[in-house]
Amino acid sequence: MKDDLPVGLVLSDVKAELFKSMGHPARIQVLEMLAEGPVAVSRLRDDIGLEPSNLSQHLGVLRRQQLIKPSRQDGRLFYELSCPEVSGLLLSARSLLGTVLQSTRLKLMTLDEPARESSAR
C-alpha cells in the first residue's frame, strides 16, 4: 500500500533505511576508509579487524544501499564509495557530533558552576 502514502512519508522510509544501513560502527569505519579512495578487501579486513564472513555481510549491506561499489584490479577485490555525497554525509555527521558535544560541554559547565561557587565559599 505504499502507493497510497504521501511522498514525504515514503521518502522518510527510504532515508531511515539509508541511516540504518550506516548504523553499525564497522560500516562507518568502512565508509571512512573508503572516503580516502578505493581500498582492497584484505586491507579493510586487516584494519577493521573483522572476520572475512562478518566483513562480507557489512559490505553487502552497504552495497545493497548503493553506498559502495566493487571493482577488480590485478585480480584483487577493491571497494570505493559510489558517490562523493557519502563522504560529505560522513563529514556532516562529524561536524554535527562536534556541535552536539560542544553544546553538552557548555551545559555541563553551567551546571557545575553553582557547585564550584558553593565550594569556594
Q: What is the pTM of this model?
A: 0.78
Identify the DSSP state of 3: G
Task: Look at residue 107 in the predicted model and tell me its pLDDT.
Answer: 80
Which of 12, 54, 6, 3 minimizes the C-alpha distance to 30?
54
Tens digit of pLDDT for each residue in 79-120?
999 999 999 999 999 999 999 988 888 888 888 766 666 666
Looking at residue 94, its amino acid is R
Give the other-Cβ count within 10 Å of 51's Cβ. 9
Tens digit of pLDDT for each residue in 24-74?
999 999 999 999 999 999 999 999 999 999 999 999 999 999 999 999 999
User: CB within 8 A of 48, min separation 6: which ones?
Assistant: 26, 29, 30, 33, 55
Task: Look at residue 10 in the predicted model and tell me its pLDDT.
Answer: 84
Spatial distance between the Cα atoms of 97 and 95, rounded to a whole number of angstroms: 5
